[in-house]
Amino acid sequence: MTWPGGGPWVVVTTSTQTDWATGLAALAAASAVPVAVLRLVRGGPGHGVLGPRRGVFTPGQGVFGPGRGVLGPPTAAGDVLGRLRGLATRVDVRTGGHHPPHVDGVVTIVRALERAHGLVLVGAPDGLLVPLGADGWTLVDVAKALRAPVVVVSGSSPGAAGHAALVLDALTRREVPATVLAVGDDPLPVDVAGRIPRRAVSEPDLIRAGAAGWLDPALHADGSRPPQPRPAPPPADAPAPARPLLTGRRFAIALVSLFVVLAAVLWTVPFVRAHTVAREQQRFITGWDTELDHRDAWAQPPGAYDNPEPPAPSLAPVTPEQVCPRNEPGVTPAEPDARTTARVNAAWARIERWLARHAPRTREELRRPASASAIADAQRRMSVDFPPDLVASLRRHDGSAPNRQGLTVPPLYTLLSLDEIVGEWEDVCGSEAEFYPDMMLDRRFVPIASDPGFGFAFADQSTQGYIGDYVWENGGPSFDGWPTSVAGLLEEMAHSLETGDEVRGAVPEVVDGRLGWSLD
């Protein structure tokens, strides 16, 4: 697919909500056509479909709890309004409340915005597969319904890097074109179509001047159809191109059109009385940014929206063997070098000393080393090479005793033996096949610790061994708060045992000679 030079683009985040707002602002600043931003906000009971006056969120009344606005804490480096002021028309749609909108209602609003804007950025400060609105539709459903590409805004932390790879994989499975826009200068395991300097998060004025130089030209919306985005060069403080003004008459026509569309949407909500509709319409009208520097509208060809949207293609059933093929040729089992082995052994020595002194029963449950041949066979069977530091760790201890009371990785995952790693991987592949592609699991997740009723921790070989966990009830992986390697995980545990410091909300606790982790 050729990346479109305008129309609707869906914008998702894999990191912080502040990064998401910064990405929106950069896309708007780099655009040569009028821009509208439609923000989907998970409002609660009592909220209407539309957001408050001028889209301003009120700290202390946000959807993420007391003291937080819909885009994060009030102490964050400015909200989306500050970044977009003068760059785009801003409209909020609340997806919660007593009568949440359906995805086709969102599509209708986007089409109305397109009449006066060459680029409509649609998104939410939530994850790609977080349920929104009636029937639990997600941002993926919005992208499919709009036939829109997705811009994935990613930070540069290890967690964000892992999430970016997973989000791109999920979009690829659904045949949704996507590219990555990075915030920060740290390397990511995927190609990016632009990099926004980290200081732009706290200095939003830099975005106006520098966005055009930071983003790949394919992300400079201009109404044409430029090539697919390529990795962008290092950021340069280049001025944004000048853009013509939108006449008041054309903007007024677009405003009235959107007013009519929204009136129709609101009238279709069951049990909404006429005076409620009028009140919501007034809330919307006062919500428009009439003081913005509007530009000429990008005209859509006649009849562009006359045809109904095609239904999303159904996915054929898959088997565990298709999701996670066994014994694929070409897998070279990992072999740790001397430096990696020494680092892992040093961390294990610290853990062993502490356990022998404070939790001897847990120390006794550490298993003997796994053989090099067994570790190599497991990698071939799983068709994935293990991280070298995991291999070194298994050669020191093949997990804990199989009674599930052995060494626990904080907060609650029991260290797995080699046989349990293979068994857990096969279980994960079965779950992915059953619910494909919605679980966002990956065949390159190598389980390292598990709690059967809760989830498992893994080393992600798609991101060079970053550690993450998958909590079943959350329905998705997370890399937040985890180290970037197995060696780092062991060192983190050793430090916590020696100092009593908290790790992922847990502190070490010994009961009857066994190590556990107390969740504060």
DSSP track, 430-457? HHHHHHTTTT---TTEEEEEEETTTEEE
Choice between 51 and 487, residue whose per-residue pLDDT is larger: 487
Show which of 286, 307, 329 is a domain's final residue.
286
Q: How many helices (H) and strands (E) does the chain have?
A: 16, 15
Is pLDDT at 228 greater than 70 in this prediction?
Answer: no
244 and 390 in a single domain? The answer is no
Answer yes or no: do 84 and 170 share one domain. Answer: yes
Q: Is the dihedral of CA 12, 18, 22, 28 positive or negative?
A: positive
Rounded distance, CA 259 to CA 265, Å?
A: 10
User: Which pLDDT belongs to residue 52?
Assistant: 29
Q: Are 325 and 260 members of one domain? A: no
Burial of 129 (0-12, 13-18, 19+ CB in 10 A): buried
Report pLDDT digits (tens) over 304-355. 333 334 344 334 445 666 667 788 888 899 999 999 999 999 999 999 999 9
Instruction: Indicate the pairing of strand 35-41 with strand 514-519.
Output: unpaired
For residue range 78-117, list pLDDT tens digits in order. 455 566 677 888 887 877 766 778 888 888 888 888 888 8
Residue 404 has a pLDDT of: 55
Residue 468: its pLDDT value, please? 87
What is the rounded end-to-end Cα distance, in angstroms, of the chain?
A: 50
Q: Is residue 256 part of a domain?
A: yes
Between CA 42 and CA 51, with CA 45 as vertex, the angle to 5 degrees is 50
Q: Is residue 67 part of a domain?
A: yes
Residue 230 lies in domain: 7-286
**Is residue 44 a part of any domain in this protein?**
yes
Please give the structure tokens belonging to residue 27.
């896309």
Do 274 and 336 belong to one domain? no
Residue 68 corresponds to which tokens in the numbers above? 């937080």
DSSP secondary structure letter of residue 477: E
- What is the predicted pLDDT for the residue at 151? 92
- With 60 as the cut, is the pLDDT of residue 196 above it? yes
For residue 46, the model assigns a pLDDT of 33
- pLDDT for residue 350: 97
- What CATH number is given to the structural domain containing 410? 3.40.1580.10
pLDDT tens digits, 255-292: 445 554 454 444 433 333 333 323 332 232 223 332 22
Percent of the chain with pLDDT over 70: 65
Residue 30 DSSP one-character state: T
Q: Output 78 or 222, whichever has higher pLDDT.
A: 222
Q: Quick check: 55 pLDDT over 50?
A: no
pTM above 0.85, yes or no: no
Over residues 111-149, the pLDDT tens digits come to 888 888 889 999 887 777 777 877 778 888 899 999 999
Give every CB contact of residue 82 below 8 A, 6+ residues apart in sequence.
204
Structure token digits, residue 82: 């500050």
Judge whether 498 lies within some domain. yes
Q: Is 484 exposed, middle or buried (0-12, 13-18, 19+ CB in 10 A)?
A: buried
Within 8 A by CB and 6+ apart from 132, the residues are 40, 42, 95, 100, 124, 126, 138, 139
Q: Please tell me whether residues 326 and 259 are part of one structural domain.
A: no
| CATH number of the domain enclosing 166 | 3.40.50.300
Q: Are residues 276 and 327 in the same domain?
A: no
- Residue 380's pLDDT is 94
Together in a domain, 167 and 53: yes
Average pLDDT over residues 472-476: 65
* Count of domains observed in the chain: 2
- Residue 2 and residue 218 in contact, taking contact as beta carbons nearer than 8 Å: no
348 and 244 within one domain: no
Q: How far is CA 162 from CA 165, 414, 461, 472, in A?
A: 5, 23, 10, 18
Choose one of 242, 265, 286: the last residue of a domain.
286
Look at residue 306 and tell me if it is in a domain: no
User: Do 259 and 365 have their domain in common?
Assistant: no
How many residues does this entry show for the chain? 520
Q: What percentage of the chain has pLDDT greater than the value 90?
A: 25
Q: What is the mean pLDDT of the chain?
A: 72
Listed residue (413, 406, 382, 401) closest to 486, CA to CA: 413
**Range name among 103-107, 157-161, 498-502 with the lowest pLDDT average:** 157-161
Residues 473, 355, single domain; the answer is yes
Backbone angle region of 327, left / alpha / beta, with phi > 0 → left and psi within -120 to 50 → alpha:
left
Shared domain check, 275 and 332: no
Whose CA is closest to 429, among 328, 326, 323? 323
Select from 270, 286, 302 the last residue of a domain.
286
Cis-peptide into 411, omega within 30 deg = yes
Q: Tell me, what's the pLDDT at 439? A: 55
442 falls within a domain: yes
Write the burial class of residue 109 (CB in 10 Å: 0-12 exposed, 13-18 middle, 19+ buried): buried
| Long-range contact set of residues 275-283: C-beta below 8 Å, sequence gap at least 24 | 280/48, 280/49, 280/50, 283/48, 283/50, 283/51, 283/52, 283/53
Q: What is the pLDDT of residue 484?
A: 87
Residue 341 counted as domain residue:
yes
* pLDDT at residue 333 in the model: 93
Does 310 reside within a domain?
no
What does residue 269 show for φ and ψ, rounded to 5 degrees?
-70, 125
Secondary structure class of 365 (helix, strand, coil): coil
- Two structure tokens written together for 457: 């921790």
- C-beta separation of 505 from 519 below 8 A: yes
Tell me the helix, strand and coil percentages in the chain, rounded to 5.
40, 15, 45
Query: pLDDT band at residue 358, thresholds of 50, 70 and 90?
Result: very high
Neighbours of 492 (CB within 10 A): 19
Q: Predicted confidence band at 17 (pLDDT cuts at 50, 70, 90)?
A: low
Structure tokens at 59: 């700290």
Same domain, 253 and 369: no
